Amino acid sequence: MSAWRFTRLGAQDAAHRVAGVLDVANDIHVKLPGSSEFNDTDIARVVRNALHWDVLVPDQRIKSTVSNGVVTLKGTVDSWAEYDDAARCVKNLRGVVEVQNLLSVDPPANPVLFTDLRASIEGALVRHAEHAAKRVNLAVAKDKVILSGDVPTWADWQAVEGAVRGTPGVRMVDNQLRIQP
């Protein structure tokens, strides 16, 4: 990851670590002196190549748009891992300023039983964020999981959501968790 991206994302992460901060608007724009920037056409070509060459990404089901260095991904993927992998494979490309991941997660048509899904989510929470899991409430409606309750840190908020998103059969996550130190 380039140094300027560390600076921009570092400032964002630092703001999220402040107790009581729930939302951050990151309007930081970093321009490197003397650097030649790619135009959007160049970036779009590189993005398509990155999606194509990444074996973890279903590139034929993903469309990208580039505007002022901002890459927008649209389409459908089978899992949250593919959703994350698609953004990961393009976010550090030269000229990319930001990635807006608008992909939809559409798992294969295997019916998921409520009890199996809930047990899988609870097991993942215990493995990944055991201390935070005690204050988290779950509601499951078909393939949508609604999280509510309190977690002590931003890292716990991320761990809980990551555990839920990693559960097979979860198509949507409505994360209503609050950070309460």
Map out the domains of the chain as residue ranges.
Answer: 3-105, 114-179
What CATH fold (topology level) applies to the domain 3-105? GMP Synthetase; Chain A, domain 3 (3.30.300)
Task: Decide if pLDDT at 154 tops 80.
Answer: yes
Q: Give the C-alpha separation, 103 to 107, whole Å.
A: 12
Q: How many other CB atoms sit within 10 Å of the CB of residue 67?
A: 12
Strands 62-67 and 136-141: what pairing? unpaired
Give per-residue pLDDT as tens, 113-137: 656 666 766 776 676 666 667 778 8
Report residue 1's pLDDT band, with 50, 70 and 90 as the boundaries. Answer: very low
Task: Decide if pLDDT at 85 tops 60.
Answer: yes
Task: Decide if pLDDT at 19 tops 90.
Answer: no
- CATH code that applies to domain 114-179: 3.30.1340.30
Q: Could you give the percent of the chain with pLDDT greater than 90?
A: 30
How much is the pLDDT for 76?
93
